């Protein structure tokens, strides 16, 4: 299973939309260099208010570009970085992968920890968008269609156009759950 990087993004502050860059650096055990979600412990403001000592399972946010095609067909205009992702991919059904899958991009490696949960800021960006991007697991928990979260297990610079390879964890596989 392989794909490629379409775009890379980051933001130093806790903002919804991230800036598209020519390259970003993934830092092992921390996340995207100079990004607001970089850290060993949780950096997401809502989750930090619940338990600031919890491990950061959301160091890197990945979305497959196929989401943008889907949204365009339903009347929305959304592109790389608009939903707060760090890495936009193509060719890999990210949400179908099991927990613990490793996404290799050159020397860098991201291990998938879970699905991105939707937040109220999505409708602040474009009215009605939350409903368009939300799916539900078999157990009824909401998550973002095509969006996954991960931790950096191998650092390195990544750029658009870079090839992605997928390494599945040993069986039995567990489906990704919202984190």
Percent of the chain topping pLDDT 70: 100
Length of the chain: 179
* pLDDT for 149: 97
**Residue 3, Ramachandran bin (φ over 0: left; ψ between -120 and 50: alpha; else beta):** beta
Average pLDDT on 28-39 reads 96
Cα-flanking dihedrals φ and ψ of residue 24, to 5°? -135, 160
pLDDT tier at 109 (50, 70, 90 boundaries)? very high
**124-159 pLDDT tens trace:** 889 999 889 888 877 888 777 778 999 999 999 999
Could you read off the pLDDT of 73-102 as tens digits, one per residue?
999 999 999 999 999 999 999 999 999 999
Domains of the chain, residue spans? 2-167
Q: Provide the 3-class DSSP secondary structure of residue 72.
A: helix
Note the pLDDT of residue 135: 80
What DSSP line would sit under 11-33, residue for residue?
-SSS-SS-EEES-EEEETTTEET
pLDDT band at 177 (very low <50, low <70, confident <90, very high): very high
The larger pLDDT score, comparing residue 3 to residue 136, is at 3
Statement: residue 119 has pLDDT above 90: no
List the structure tokens of 119. 């937040």
- Predicted confidence at residue 128, as pLDDT, reads 92
What CATH superfamily classification does 2-167 receive?
PK beta-barrel domain-like (2.40.33.20)
Given a cut of 80, whether residue 116 has pLDDT beyond it is yes
User: Which pTM was predicted?
Assistant: 0.94
């Amino acid at each position: 299973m392989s794909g490629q990087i379409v775009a890379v993004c980051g933001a130093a502050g806790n903002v919804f939309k991230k800036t598209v860059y020519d390259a970003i650096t993934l830092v092992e055990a921390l996340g995207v260099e100079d990004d607001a979600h970089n850290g060993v412990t949780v950096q997401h403001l809502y989750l930090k208010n619940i338990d600031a000592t919890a491990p950061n399972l959301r160091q890197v946010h990945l979305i497959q570009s196929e989401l943008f095609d889907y949204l365009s067909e339903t009347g929305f205009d959304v592109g790389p970085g608009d939903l707060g992702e760090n890495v936009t991919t193509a060719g890999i059904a990210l949400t179908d992968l099991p927990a613990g899958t490793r996404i290799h991009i050159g020397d860098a490696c991201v291990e998938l920890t879970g699905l991105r949960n939707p937040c109220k800021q999505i409708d602040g960006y474009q009215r009605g968008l939350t409903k368009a991007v939300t799916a539900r697991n078999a157990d009824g928990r909401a998550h973002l269609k095509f969006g996954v979260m991960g931790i950096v297990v191998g650092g390195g610079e990544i750029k658009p156009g870079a090839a992605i390879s997928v390494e599945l964890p040993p069986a039995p596989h567990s489906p990704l759950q919202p984190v």
